[in-house]
Structure 1
């Protein structure tokens, strides 16, 4: 298929109309170019859209970023549809952001949205404002962690502020989850049987493979597996119950590539958050812990985790106070730390499951994706052989997995 056929001229006109705020333009030409290899974007195909247009005899060119559903990969197509990935992202940009802005909230931490139809989303290309990723799979330093947590505090606080203001206006308690429970349901950690839950079960199976590779230290591998399974069973059972903690919208996929940074004079000037395909509802501590555990090393956390959690809560509480709400009555510091304690192990499991996949080499990913059959086997059946191969062949991968799984074991047996 010709790339220009991915988006029609009529769709480009809708994009440009929202971008310019009027229809006083004529499109002269538009181009579509692939963003990258699709190894990092398997759930969608990612492109740049460049439009050359004319306004009152003046020629202009603008570039956007957009993504479309990856129908060429049947396996990922199934998972993407199962978890409502496009529906969640479209919901965030087309419903949540306008609602937040209607109450004077900024949403300045996310790209602007210019077009959304089923399985097509066109966004601002923030690279045009000099935003960029940090190197893939490189641990974040303290400065980057703090800036990410400031951004995450805004992402969590603004939906809570919307709920508080709306509750005051309605004279009754309002929550996003009450109104939009279906789209905010967690489809990955779920009791239902679908492609996404099969993927997660295979990921957990891969974690058990790692346990067999990690040296014992006073706790047998059998006891470790039994205790881990009990924790997993408890996590799945708790999905149907209220946590009892103040909740907000959660991102759910907070590895470093979903944060983009803009720099001035070699310092971080701004940070943007992207990719809302796993949007859900729950305690902010789940996102905070997942972010910290996924993007830092243990030695760094031992030195800075308390500092980072305090930094997040200071930012979060200052946003509430700026709108006239008392943090102690919304999400007290005591409640925040209590929720962090409650969700440390679930967040660590999520982190280890993510990292044992994302830190595999590009060669391993390419080998798994060489055919539909091998890719399906990798996603749903046999993750273990890739993990074992990576563990045996890659010293950096082996060191990280030993560190992660040992820390998980310590957490489980400390509770």
Structure 2
């Protein structure tokens, strides 16, 4: 990871948490209602080293990256995100200034920078090529289907929209977003009563963006589509309710900071971002690589391994099929429809007058 990534994580565990803590009500045991209960303790930090608590000693462990999260796990993460985001809002309301002014580093993009030669960008270009491979494997849109060639022509432009989407918003309130909420960056523990707790780790990609970005990205990375469709609205409302509770404890009114309808609208507008980012990410994070030989094959011939695993592994096939289908439905089909509409309008326009007609 880049120097910028380390600088961000040191900033998060150092200056950010220290300054935010001054404004947080921490009367509850372990500060359970604040962001301090969503992240591991940091015992020592310097620019090249962080010493964090060993969460395994408290019973925390990472879930299987190939197993989608359950509804209770998703609810746990959404409440943790609400507490994390609340810290940003409390800070700004108490300080009377934006985080962007206090910590300009949080405006810097860690991974999605469109810079040739930048290693993450090279990987992202590879992901776009693999998306073309996956499109041909998905039965609904694969080779031989009516729209296959047209969808391929719109795939790369749609996926490159990611560099436009991952920015602070001029329309919605920005908070400190984690921005890398896949299952390897969260650890769960269950107490004797069966109550779940979660800790979020790896704050190297933190960025100032609308809270909807964290939520929608997490829900598309960590949950199956059926679960999102059945419980997505309820999960978003749970997040907002938790956020409102934390703000109320700090004498802040959610309706003056982030009204429910404004928040829900931001989630709708974030859907394309989440769908595109899922295609970039799931093709690698859900690839069932277990042997060194598989990893070597992945690095040397990613397309061949993806094709093989798509045919052989049910879990990988389901996740990437869902991701590609949602990319087509949410991003490619609207682009295709707009392109066809433009063509029809051009065909319906009368031809320009000839030279004789102009002279007459």
Residues 203 and 383 in structure 1, CA contact (< 8 A), matched pair in contact too: no
For the residue of structure 2 that corresponds to 1:249, the secondary structure is strand
Counterpart for residue 47 of structure 2: 118
Give distance in 2, aligned partners of 1:207 and 1:266: 44
Q: Is contact 2:82–2:239 with CA below 8 Å preserved after alignment?
A: yes
Shift of 1:152: 0.7
In 2, Cα distance between equivalents of 1:346 and 1:235:
6
Shift in Å at residue 156 of structure 1?
Answer: 0.8
Distance in 2 (alpha carbons) for counterparts of 1:146 and 1:407? 23
Describe the shift of the 1:93–1:232 C-alpha distance in structure 2 as closer, same or farther (beyond 3 A). Answer: same
User: Can you list the C-alpha shifts for 1:93-147, whole angstroms capped at 9, x where unaligned?
Assistant: 0111111112135412111111122322110112222222233321111111111
Q: Which moved more, 1:294-303 or 1:228-237?
A: 228-237
Selected match of 2:9 from 62, 74, 89: 89
Unaligned runs of 5+ in 1: 1-79, 168-173
CA change 1:363–1:133 in 2 (3 A) is: closer
The Cα of 1:308 is off from its aligned counterpart by 0.8
What is the CA-CA distance between 1:357 and the residue it aligns to? 0.6
Instruction: Work out which of the residue numbers 107, 115, 120 in structure 2 matches 1:196.
Output: 120
What per-residue deviation string (whole Å, max 9, x for no partner) do you get for residues 13-38 of structure 1?
xxxxxxxxxxxxxxxxxxxxxxxxxx
Could you tell me whether the CA contact under 8 Å between 2:168 and 2:209 is conserved in 1?
no
Mapped partners of 1:238, 1:125: distance in 2: 35
Deviation digits for residues 348-370 of structure 1, max 9, x if unmatched?
12123211111112236x33654
Q: Which moved more, 1:183-192 or 1:279-288?
A: 183-192
Q: 1:222-257 deviations in whole A, cap 9, x for unaligned?
A: 322333333334442455674411110111111123
What residue number does 1:367 align with? 293
Q: What residue in structure 1 maps to residue 155 of structure 2? A: 228
TM-score (norm 1): 0.72
1:191 shift after superposition: 2.6
Q: CA deviation at 1:341?
A: 1.0
Counterpart residue number, 2:98? 175
Pairs aligned (count): 321
Q: Deviations over 1:154-192 (max 9, x none)?
A: 11111111011100xxxxxx2112232235412322233
Match of 2:310 in 1: 391
Decide whether aligned partners of structure 1 residues 276 and 239 sit closer, same or farther in structure 2, where only a CA change above 3 A counts.
closer
Pick closer, same or farther for the CA change 1:237–1:358 going to 2, 3 Å. Answer: closer
Report if aligned partners of 2:66, 2:288 keep a CA contact under 8 Å in 1: no
Q: 1:307 aligns with which of 234, 238, 245?
A: 234
1:165 and 1:257 map into 2 onto residues whose CA distance is 33
Alpha-carbon distance in 2 for matches of 1:358, 1:164 = 37
| Superposition RMSD in Å | 2.3
What residue is the counterpart of 2:179 in the other structure?
252
Q: Which residue of 222, 238, 249 corresponds with 1:295?
A: 222
Question: Match for 2:131 among 197, 200, 207?
Answer: 207
Q: What is residue 66 of structure 2 aligned with on the other side? A: 137
Q: Which runs of 5 or more residues in structure 2 are unaligned?
A: 26-33, 336-360
SS of corresponding position for 1:140: coil
SS of alignment partner, residue 255 of structure 2: helix
Partner of 2:258: 331
Distance in 2 of aligned mates of 1:360 and 1:143:
25
**TM-score, reference length from structure 2:** 0.82
1:62-89 deviations in Å (ceiling 9; x for gaps): xxxxxxxxxxxxxxxxxx126x222221
Structure with larger RCO (C-alpha < 8 A, sep 6+): 2
Q: State the SS of the aligned residue for 1:277.
A: coil
SS in 1 for 2:271: helix
Q: Which structure: greater helix fraction?
A: 2
Cα gap change, 1:241 to 1:229, in 2 (>3 Å) = farther
Closer/same/farther in 2, CA of residues 235 and 81 from structure 1, 3 Å limit: closer
